[in-house]
Amino acid sequence: MKIKWWKALCIALLLYTIIAGLLIKVPALPILHETIRNLYFHVTMWFAMIFILSVSVWNSVRFLSGFEQKYDTVAVESAKAGVFLGILGILTGSLWAKYTWNAWWANDPKLNGAAITLLFYFAYFILRSSLEDENKKARISAIYNIFSYVMLIVFLLVYPRLSDSLHPGNGGNPGFNTYDLDSTMRKVFYPAVIGWCIFSYWLTELGIRLKKAAMITDEL
């Protein structure tokens, strides 16, 4: 069985993230304690989500510049992967919050940002499902995708500055940036980011292949 090099890299990086992330020594911080290990999963998943949503928007732009159907397929499949990672991010975050803040959900700018991100993309999928014609669907949803992505980025940049966050590293809370002086956490953090990004791309690729297969079976 042959496996593409980047898929092998993805598996290796994620295995490393899970094993090293759970076993390697972490700085002991108040409040956080061992839950700091969630940094390798929760935070990196958000990074990967932003990465794959950017891929989605880039493909929407490419679709509008040439109206080639294949770009639309990439855009929608990567948006799906992004939403999947977003839901994983919310779940890991929620679980973590239960142990550190003693609540599943809190009124925090970053949490609201996450919820709104998902809202944007649910609206995007509803818009797609309400259109019949393939070409029209691709064009209009690409426009909505670009419009909402720009709004989202502006929002994610501006909103956390309006009020203080409960998150580690914000508002005087301990975070790994200030305490991880010997950079042990970075050794896992950066590979994890790359690993999850490749993972999201892999998901997208699988989605595209499934769609192609469905198109072929439809033709038969």
Partner 1 sequence: MFFRQVAGIISKEFTQDFRQKSFIAGVLLYVIATVYICYLSFRTILHPPTWNALLWIILVFAGINAVSRSFMGESKNRQLYYYYLCKPHVFLSGKLIYSALLMLFLGMLTYFFYGIFINNLVQDKLMFFLILCLGSIGFAAILTMVSAIASRTGGSFGIMAILSFPLLIPLLLLIIRLSKNAVDGLDRSLSLPYIGVTSLLIMIIVTLSLVLFPYLWRE
What is the contact surface with partner 1 in residues (CB under 8 A)? Answer: 64, 116, 119-120, 123, 126-127, 130-131, 136, 139-140, 142-144, 146-148, 150-151, 154-155, 158-159, 162
The answer to whether 177 and 169 are in contact (CB under 8 A) is yes
Judged on CB neighbours under 10 Å (0-12, 13-18, 19+), 195 is: buried
Nearer to partner 1, 58 or 147 (CB): 147
Q: Closer CB to partner 1, residue 144 or residue 179?
A: 144
CB of 123 to partner 1, least distance (A): 5
CB of 42 to partner 1, least distance (A): 23
**Residue among 123 and 214 whose Cβ is closer to partner 1:** 123
Q: Which residue, 58 or 159, has its beta carbon nearer to partner 1?
A: 159
Helix then strand then coil, % of the chain, to nearest 5: 80, 0, 20
C-alpha dist (Å) from residue 141 to 19, 77, 104, 192: 40, 13, 33, 32
What is the C-alpha to C-alpha distance for residues 76 and 80, in angstroms, rounded to an integer? 6
Please, what is the minimum distance in Å from the beta carbon of residue 180 to partner 1?
A: 32
How far apart (Å, rounded) are the C-alpha atoms in residues 28 and 210?
45
CB nearer to partner 1: give 160 or 169.
160
Cβ at position 117, least distance to partner 1 in Å = 9
Residue 121 C-beta: closest distance to partner 1, Å: 9
Backbone φ/ψ region at 133: left (φ over 0), alpha (ψ -120 to 50), beta: beta
